[in-house]
């Protein structure tokens, strides 16, 4: 759990940096390619020495292509139809996708984890607001595509490590994850990107931070943590970023926030985590099939 908590705090700062220094100022596709390329650079020394299972490497590439590459394509395209608050609102369904996908692949149904995911969604909904737009439902479906990709990547990585417990040194092969993402992000930038590059040292510094730390170390630590907790706890932690991000934005950039809604949502998240307690012990679940 400590990996997920640490990355949650890390990404809470990252989202504020994106909103303050990159959004609307630097081409989104260029930012994605830069982040993925820098993240790959972090693991390149290990990747060059990789002599492991080829099938394992290919699977990691596929997971990276889905969890980062395709997810970002959906995510950035959704801004053509929705406002930023609306996009954020629609990301709250990710916990449900995680617990349902994991149960489906495991051939079981865990009602407690699904309830925890629903509580996490309710917590996120309390903290966010959105206003309907003309392309409301189309934008909604696009964001759900992003949510499904992000959820599928996390669940896939968790299942991959469960199937191959011998892969203990995850950092030696994780570079393949970013190779897969880059194979999606690079052509997307080539075809859809605009000539809108960073103009200040601050913007370049933010991109370096996002690429080397938030993406490079962040996604590795997040997926590593995802493999160590229950599917229910993982689902809940996907929405824990909401209160953390709001607090960071409020404290550092003095943005207004409804403290009562934030408090209620935080309590709901704590209740969700409580539902996922004793994750190391087997839970009652319904076997499918």
Instruction: Band the pLDDT of 167: cuts 50, 70, 90.
Output: low
Residue 283, pLDDT above cutoff 80: no
Residue 61 is given by DSSP the state H
pLDDT tens for each residue of 83-118: 655 666 677 778 878 888 887 777 776 777 677 667
The rounded percent of the chain whose pLDDT value lies above 90 is: 21
Amino acid 89: pLDDT: 64
Residues in a beta bridge with 123: none
Could you state, in order of their start, the residue ranges of all structural domains in the chain?
Answer: 2-287
**Bigger pLDDT: 81 vs 166:** 81
Which distant-in-sequence residues (6+ apart) come within 8 Å of 168 by Cβ?
A: none
Instruction: Band the pLDDT of 287: cuts 50, 70, 90.
Output: very low
pLDDT tens for each residue of 46-60: 888 877 788 888 999
The reported pTM is 0.79
Amino acid 209: pLDDT: 93
Task: Flag the least confident range among 43-57, 154-168, 236-250.
Answer: 236-250
Instruction: Band the pLDDT of 62: cuts 50, 70, 90.
Output: very high
pLDDT tens for each residue of 122-142: 766 676 554 455 566 787 788
Amino acid 251: pLDDT: 72
Amino acid 280: pLDDT: 39
Instruction: Band the pLDDT of 225: cuts 50, 70, 90.
Output: confident
């Amino acid at each position: 759990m400590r990996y997920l908590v640490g990355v949650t705090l890390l990404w809470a700062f990252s989202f504020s940096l994106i909103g303050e220094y990159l959004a609307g100022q630097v081409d989104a596709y260029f930012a994605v390619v830069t982040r993925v390329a820098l993240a790959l650079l972090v693991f390149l020394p290990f990747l060059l020495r990789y002599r492991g299972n080829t099938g394992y490497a290919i699977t990691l590439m596929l997971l990276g292509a889905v969890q980062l590459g395709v997810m970002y394509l959906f995510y950035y395209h959704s801004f053509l139809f929705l406002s930023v608050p609306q996009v954020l609102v629609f990301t709250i369904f990710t916990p449900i996708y995680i617990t349902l996908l994991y149960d489906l692949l495991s051939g079981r149904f865990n009602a407690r984890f699904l309830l925890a995911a629903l509580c996490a969604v309710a917590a996120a909904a309390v903290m966010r607001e959105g206003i309907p737009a003309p392309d409301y439902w189309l934008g909604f479906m696009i964001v759900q595509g992003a949510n499904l990709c992000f959820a599928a990547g996390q669940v896939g990585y968790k299942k991959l490590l469960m199937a191959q417990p011998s892969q203990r040194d995850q950092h030696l092969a994780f570079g393949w994850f970013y190779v897969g993402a880059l194979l999606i992000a690079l052509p997307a930038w080539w075809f859809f990107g605009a000539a809108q590059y960073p103009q200040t040292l601050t913007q370049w510094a933010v991109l370096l931070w996002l690429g080397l730390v938030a993406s490079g170390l962040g996604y590795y630590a997040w997926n590593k943590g995802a493999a160590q907790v229950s599917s229910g706890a993982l689902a809940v932690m996907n929405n824990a970023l909401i209160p953390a991000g709001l607090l960071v934005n409020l404290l550092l950039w003095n943005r207004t926030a409804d403290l009562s809604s934030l408090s209620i949502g935080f309590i709901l998240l704590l209740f969700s985590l409580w539902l996922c307690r004793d994750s190391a012990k087997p839970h009652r679940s319904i076997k499918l099939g």
